[in-house]
A and B are shown apart, each in its own frame.
Chain A
Amino acid sequence: MSARAAAAMAAANGRETVIGADFLLSMVEAHWSAKNGDASKMESGLRARQELQKIEKQITHLESAAGQDEETRQEIHQLHERVNALRREVSAHLNAWEKTELARHPQRPYTLDYVERIFTDWSEIHGDRGFGDDPAIICGMARFHGEDVMIVGHQKARDTKQKVYRNFGMPNPEGYRKALRAMEIAAKFQRPLFTFVDTPGAYPGLGAEERGQAEAIARNLREMVRLEIPIITVITGEGGSGGALAIAVADRVLMMENAIYSVISPEGCASIMWRDATKKDLAAQALKITASDLGELGCIDGVVEEPEGGAHNDHEASAALLDAALQRHYGELKGVPTRELLASRYNKFRNMAQFFHAEV
């Protein structure tokens, strides 16, 4: 931690609420821009995060060193709160396009990477009973800290052959129908549902249209609202429009810190609205697609922190952070009577995204 940053922190700490995270952020920003000149924003963002990491370590160190001195502990605690706020700010200020790239990072953990690390006794189930099995969506029974649960998630892949097999995580209608079948099995046997969202979108193909892509998505939206089990959704990477929402009508919708959730891809928006696909960074910004944007707009219930630099850097740590969040949210939903659960799920979506005024 630099002397300036420390001074800034001390100053901010003394001045309570008026000067908070914004001031600190500007100091950190000044700090690394002085050090790095015209380094790209991505670079400086990462550096800021490294800096924060160091500060956090120091605080932890100080905390243990503070011993029983109540006043010092209190001060450190306040300091910590501020750093936490700062961390969120820095994360929020990572440019939306940079986040999009992180969300699509080829080394980012995919659904099965999380399943492997967070759940046990995974047993996959296949097929929509009507047309086929869609490898772009996986469904299966598993155990979450000993409890039987159903898992549904988009599945992407890393090597070319697997990517084609998984259709780049873009489901066909039979994928959504398989998902609904799995959800209904879960509801029938009263097992909670965990869904993992990571898709560029539902597949825009000939066969998909022939077999009713829109109908399959629409049906899932309606049925998920009244599924009589607790549902927790995590947007782990890309939340690509209706193709994402079709498995994301849940009691708790969480987003990984660097995930995105959007009605259209930044490239798609850029080519339509700017008539220039290279304006994707502008579009990404304008569309408000980051986890902090979604939080501010009231469209999600929580953001799950990722390890330093992004989930791709450390699959174990990402899974551990997600696991903790899932445990907490599931713990809160677990005892809720079904009627109450359904009523609050309904009310949540009924009252979401209400951005209009009524003239009289």
Chain B
Amino acid sequence: MSNLAIEGQIQRAPNRLDLKLLNYSITQLQILVTWFKRQSGELDTSGERKVRTEGLWVKCDQCRQIIWKKDLEDNLNVCPKCDRHFRIDARTRLSQLLDENEYDVFDSNLSSTDPLKFVDLKAYKSRLHQAQEETGLQDAIINAQGKLNGRSIIVSAMEYSFIGGSMGAVVGEAITRAIERATETRMPIVIVSASGGARMMEGVISLMQLAKISAALARLDEARVPYISVLTDPTTGGVTASFAMLGDLNIAEPGALIGFAGPRVIEQTIRQKLPQGFQRAEFLLEHGMLDAVVPRKQLKPYIARALEFMQQPSDGSRRSSA
């Protein structure tokens, strides 16, 4: 029926029903493709089950409402109905945080040498190539320098769609360089995490990135340059167990999954179901692990306020509210 309306004799603009039906078919296809990928040995980086279409409509995985994609984008990719914070890519993140979406990208030319020559069901090299093609990035990170409410700042944003945002030698080096740049220029740094943790295919090389980044953070700390860690959905494993938990302030988006071990591993270890809301941002806040849970819309003003506290003379002469 919908096919008829769309293909053939369209004598009217497609209505809501047509679009809904189309959306439904695409969703079906999406499921099929996901299944196919899984069978052909693709890494499932989507984490939790989330049905999103590439069309004009998006279905919220929390409230199940169908949302006009434009509405969602205008709302910073937060569901207007239920406030579910959808994952966003690194570029979108930068555009939301930095003034006028203007910034310089640096360290974008680094790429992995596949130190272990790792091959499982598929060669790591080909996983890398595929991720590079799909994202247009060399690895799971963008380093940027721009302005946040007029203040020069460095932002390192992780790209979850690049092999689950996992951290290997490139991500480790890029983040370290961003921290070093902040230390040298005394510009504050914000690191936005979105990562499943260390990149298994780089083995112990990825583990050593934790030490490397933490070392750079010790120097940043000594230089008293502000570092705000923003934890987004999801932030787990070696990323949480290093830089993501070492901010002067550690803040997270609502509902973000944050933890050391993944929920499945914990379930298998303790052999019981995990409580509702376990490892969500609100849970961590309650347990004293976060300074704040900040909705996406307030993220930029929150960071600006914090940097004011950390950077401006304490006599109040330059208070923006004066």
The answer to whether A and B interact is: yes
Known contacts A209-B278, A350-B212; is-contact A263 B203 (Cβ 8 Å): yes
Q: Which residues of B contact A289 (CB under 8 A)?
A: 203-204
A-B contacts, 20 of them at CB < 8 A, read: A204-B261, A204-B266, A205-B266, A209-B278, A212-B288, A215-B245, A221-B242, A241-B207, A242-B241, A245-B207, A262-B207, A264-B198, A269-B200, A283-B120, A350-B212, A350-B215, A352-B208, A352-B211, A355-B112, A355-B114
User: B261 touching A209 by the CB < 8 A rule?
Assistant: yes
Q: Report the stretch among B80-88, B148-156, B169-177 that lies at the interface.
A: B169-177
Q: Let me know if B214 is at the binding interface, CB within 8 A.
A: yes
Quote the shortest CB–CB distance from A240 to chain B (angstroms): 10
Among B109, B176, B211, B259, the residue within 8 A (CB) of A249 is B211
Q: Which residues of A contact B169 (CB under 8 A)?
A: 353-356
User: B261 touching A213 by the CB < 8 A rule?
Assistant: yes
Quote the shortest CB–CB distance from B153 to chain A (angstroms): 22
Q: Which of A305-330 contact B (CB under 8 A)?
A: none
How distant is the Cα of A282 from the Cα of B170 in the complex, in angstroms? 25
Q: Please report B residues at the A interface, Cβ cutoff 8 Å.
A: 109-116, 118-121, 138, 168-170, 172-173, 176, 198, 200-212, 214-219, 221-222, 237-238, 240-246, 259-261, 265-266, 269-270, 274-275, 278-279, 287-289
Quote the shortest CB–CB distance from A167 to chain B (angstroms): 11
Known contacts A204-B261, A225-B218, A350-B176; is-contact A213 B241 (Cβ 8 Å): yes
Q: Which of A181-238 contact B (CB under 8 A)?
A: 202-206, 208-215, 217-219, 221-223, 225-226
Among B198, B215, B241, B269, the residue within 8 A (CB) of A214 is B241
Interface centre among B111, B168, B215, B240 (most CB of A within 10 A): B215
Chain A window 279-315, contacts with chain B (Cβ cutoff 8 Å), 1 for yes, 0 for no = 0001100111100011001010000000000000000
How distant is the Cα of A218 from the Cα of B191 in the complex, in angstroms? 15
User: A353 touching B210 by the CB < 8 A rule?
Assistant: no
Q: Let me know if A360 is at the binding interface, CB within 8 A.
A: yes
How distant is the Cα of A263 from the Cα of B120 in the complex, in angstroms? 16
Q: Which residues of A contact B112 (CB under 8 A)?
A: 355-356
Q: Which residues of B contact A221 (CB under 8 A)?
A: 210-211, 214-215, 241-242
Q: Which residues of B contact A359 (CB under 8 A)?
A: 109, 111, 138
Chain A window 336-359, contacts with chain B (Cβ cutoff 8 Å), 1 for yes, 0 for no = 000000000010011011111111
Among A209, A222, A299, A355, the residue within 8 A (CB) of B260 is A209
How distant is the Cα of A202 from the Cα of B265 in the complex, in angstroms? 12
Q: Which residues of A contact B207 (CB under 8 A)?
A: 241-242, 245, 261-263
How distant is the Cα of A181 from the Cα of B107 in the complex, in angstroms? 37
Q: Let me know if A274 is at the binding interface, CB within 8 A.
A: yes
Quote the shortest CB–CB distance from A233 to chain B (angstroms): 11
How distant is the Cα of A356 from the Cα of B238 in the complex, in angstroms? 19
User: A222 touching B218 by the CB < 8 A rule?
Assistant: yes
Q: Which residues of A contact B111 (CB under 8 A)?
A: 356-357, 359
User: B266 touching A350 by the CB < 8 A rule?
Assistant: no
How distant is the Cα of A126 from the Cα of B266 in the complex, in angstroms? 27
Q: Which residues of B contact A205 (CB under 8 A)?
A: 266, 269-270
Among A204, A218, A242, A288, the residue within 8 A (CB) of B116 is A288
User: B260 touching A208 by the CB < 8 A rule?
Assistant: yes
Among A209, A249, A346, A355, the residue within 8 A (CB) of B115 is A355
